[in-house]
């Protein structure tokens, strides 16, 4: 972990010295995470690409003022989150967010799976599991924006409570309660697929 | 505690973010409360499914387009904010230096000149000009005048000089 942190610090230092290769490396390291997060926030691949590029451009312009108090990942997610919030504010009516369906195909014509095979379940369970994932993606897109942000940052991107508090500029307690509310909302929406919904 | 109070803690229990004492309390409650145990299991499965959701990859053009944007930024001399910042810095610096020089000069002008020099200096008692030849007797005067190439001896009025020879014992430069 320390090695990762020092490698990141070294990359940032190189970026501050106008080393373009270092910034390209940052882009390569973070583009999938950032794009996935933004895609789930805005629900549209073209907008997600535009916003992800804008996030990197903003990072490029302000990397010299990056002080390293937060991790680079947290900082990038903060930029991306602010862009998503700005975009949501700009759009006068909230659009219904489309989610990636299992019927979608990628550029190679391969059906979208978006996940690794889970060997814990029998074939019928796997079908159920796939349906659950599809439903879950749809349920995430229906969450209120504030709950969607925390659940994406925590359960999909792996940020800790304190890092999310930093990204969203809100107290730790708020983060915890939002994560719980988001999980509860998802659990209720997925009640048909879960074992013991009450 | 009632079930409603335990529910928020179930989420933190899944994240292993509870202190040991609360873990013990919640687990003890789950052991005796079927309803909360079911909620806990559902939440756990929801979270596990969330963790299994995959990532999406941006299009192959993503990096290239971004590189173009960054290149365009690099071709600009400086971002607007930097330009404004440097202009402000330059103006502020120039004006500060100018003001400092002005204040220094003003200070030097005021404080380096002694006050007594600013006032009209009292005049030293004026000594009446002593005629060059006033202290000479006639023979000395004539000897000097003859040797003086600038002096036209013929123009010297002997009478006018006579009036000055009364002071034959005078010492030049001393007022009597």
* All structural domains of chain A with their residue ranges: 1-93, 122-198
Locate B148 and state its tokens: 């003086």
DSSP structural state of residue B22? H
Range of the domain at B151: 130-176
Q: Do A107 and B43 touch (CB under 8 A)?
A: no
B 33-92 residues with CB below 8 A of A?
A: 35, 38-39, 41-43, 45-47, 49-60, 62-63, 65-67, 69-70, 73-74, 79
Confidence of residue B176 (pLDDT cuts 50, 70, 90): very low
Is the Cβ of B154 closer than 8 Å to some Cβ of chain A? no
For B53, the 3-state DSSP assignment is: coil
Question: Is residue B166 domain-resident?
Answer: yes
Q: What is the pLDDT of residue A68?
A: 80
Chain A residues in contact with B46 by the CB 8 A cut-off are 136, 183, 186-187, 190, 194
B36 in the same domain as B10: yes
**Right CATH for A122-198 from 1.10.10.10, 3.90.950.20, 3.40.309.10, 3.40.50.261:** 1.10.10.10
Question: Is residue B148 domain-resident?
Answer: yes
Averaged pLDDT for residues B68-74: 84
Residue found under tokens 């009036």: B163
> How many beta-carbon pairs under 8 angstroms link A with B?
124
Q: Do B42 and A52 touch (CB under 8 A)?
A: no
Q: Do B55 and A32 touch (CB under 8 A)?
A: yes
Question: Is residue B95 domain-resident?
Answer: yes
B167 in the same domain as B141: yes
Question: Is residue B103 domain-resident?
Answer: yes
Question: Is residue B141 domain-resident?
Answer: yes
**CATH number for the segment(s) A1-93:** 1.10.1740.10
B42 in the same domain as B13: yes
Q: What is the pLDDT of residue B16?
A: 94
Q: What is the ipTM of this complex?
A: 0.76
Residue found under tokens 């391969």: A110
Confidence of residue B89 (pLDDT cuts 50, 70, 90): confident
pLDDT tens by residue, A124-169 = 777 777 888 888 999 999 999 999 999 999 999 999 999 999 999 9
Q: Do B52 and A156 touch (CB under 8 A)?
A: no
Nearest to B43 among A60, A156, A187 (CB): A187
B102 in the same domain as B140: no
- In chain B, the number of structural domains is 3
List chain A pLDDT tens, one digit each, 198 residues. Answer: 556 677 888 888 888 888 888 999 999 999 999 999 999 999 889 999 999 999 999 999 998 888 888 889 999 999 999 999 999 888 755 554 444 444 444 445 544 444 444 445 466 777 777 888 888 999 999 999 999 999 999 999 999 999 999 999 999 999 999 999 999 999 999 888 876 544
Nearest to B35 among A107, A155, A198 (CB): A198
Mean pLDDT, chain A, integer: 82
Question: Is residue B63 domain-resident?
Answer: no
Q: Do B46 and A39 touch (CB under 8 A)?
A: no
Is the Cβ of A56 closer than 8 Å to some Cβ of chain B? yes
> Does the pTM exceed 0.90?
no
């Amino acid at each position: 972990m320390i090695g990762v942190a020092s490698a990141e610090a070294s990359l940032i230092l190189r970026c501050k010295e106008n080393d373009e290769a270092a910034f390209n490396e940052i882009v390569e390291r973070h583009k999938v995470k950032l794009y996935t997060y933004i895609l789930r926030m805005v629900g549209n691949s073209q907008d997600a690409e535009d916003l992800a590029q804008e996030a990197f451009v903003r990072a490029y312009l302000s990397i010299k003022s990056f002080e390293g108090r937060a991790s680079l990942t947290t900082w990038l997610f903060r930029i991306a989150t602010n862009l998503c919030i700005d975009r949501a504010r700009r759009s006068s009516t909230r659009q219904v967010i489309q989610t990636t369906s299992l019927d979608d195909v990628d550029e190679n014509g391969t059906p979208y799976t978006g996940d690794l095979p889970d060997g814990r379940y029998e074939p019928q369970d796997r079908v159920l599991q796939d349906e659950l994932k599809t439903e879950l993606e749809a349920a995430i897109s229906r969450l209120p924006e504030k709950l969607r942000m925390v659940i994406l940052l925590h359960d999909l991107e792996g940020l800790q409570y304190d890092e999310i508090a930093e990204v969203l500029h809100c107290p730790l307690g708020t983060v915890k309660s939002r994560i719980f509310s988001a999980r509860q909302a998802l659990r209720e929406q997925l009640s048909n697929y879960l074992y013991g919904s009450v | 505690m009632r079930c409603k109070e335990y529910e928020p803690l179930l989420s933190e229990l899944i994240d292993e973010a509870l202190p040991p004492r609360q873990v013990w309390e919640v687990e003890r409650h789950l052991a005796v409360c079927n309803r909360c145990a079911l909620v806990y299991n559902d939440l756990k499965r929801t979270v596990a499914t969330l963790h299994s959701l995959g990532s999406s990859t941006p299009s192959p053009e993503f990096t290239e387009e971004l590189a173009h944007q960054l290149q365009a930024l690099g071709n600009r001399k400086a971002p607007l904010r930097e330009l404004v910042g440097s202009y402000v810095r330059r103006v502020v610096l120039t004006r500060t230096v100018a003001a400092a020089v002005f204040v220094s000069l003003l200070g030097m002008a005021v404080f380096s000149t002694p006050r007594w020099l600013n006032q009209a200096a009292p005049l030293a008692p004026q000594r009446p000009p002593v005629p060059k030849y006033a202290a000479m007797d006639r023979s000395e005067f004539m000897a000097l005048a003859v040797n003086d190439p600038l002096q036209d001896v013929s123009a010297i009025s002997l009478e006018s000089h006579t009036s000055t020879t009364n002071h034959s014992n005078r010492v030049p430069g001393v007022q009597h």
